[in-house]
Amino acid sequence: MGMPRGKHLEALLAKCDSDLEHKWLKFIADLDLRLPTEAQKYLAEANTRVDFYYEIESAPPAVAVYIDGPVHEIRDRARVDRNQEASLAQLGIMCLRFSYDDDWERIIAEHPSIFGKMGGNGTGRVDMQ
């Protein structure tokens, strides 16, 4: 059996590399959505460290999540990001990016098999499919 949710959240928060990552993880936790399996996971095959990593029992079986600040809007950084996404795709790993100025709720709602489903009553409760 896995670690209790509160302890798992503490461990993930301790690994956050930025305030934005911390903010995103708290956002996920506050909505009672599925927490990532790991934080700051290095994937040698793709030569990248993902901010958060989900191992799930549905398709896709693995999801890499990046939390992007403004620096990712710079052309050279955007090119590196695209290369990372292509490497992950070749490994069968889905890649999701949450930019600092994205509508995070919209992205989450588009992927209920990853994050869970936000309740329609505004409580943010999860209905795992």
Indicate the pLDDT class of residue 2, thresholds 50, 70 and 90: confident
**How confident is the model over 76-109, as pLDDT tens digits?**
767 777 888 899 999 999 999 999 898 999 999 9
Which of 62 and 72 is assigned the larger pLDDT? 62
Alpha-carbon gap, residue 8 to 59, rounded angstroms: 23
Global pTM? Answer: 0.84
pLDDT for the residue 122: 33
**How confident is the model over 23-51, as pLDDT tens digits?**
999 999 999 999 999 999 999 999 899 99
Lowest mean pLDDT among 4-8, 82-86, 110-114: 82-86
DSSP state of 35: P
State the average pLDDT over residues 47-63: 89
DSSP percent split of the chain into helix, strand, coil, nearest 5: 45, 20, 35
Cβ(21)–Cβ(12) below 8 Å:
no
List the chain domain ranges: 5-115
Q: Which two tokens stand for residue 65?
A: 């999540």
How far CA 47 is from CA of 50, 91, 115, in Å, comes to 10, 12, 25
Identify the residue whose tokens are 């990853």.
114
- SS3 per residue for 83-127: HHHHHHHHCCCEEEEEECCCCHHHHHHCCHHHHCCECCCCCCCEC
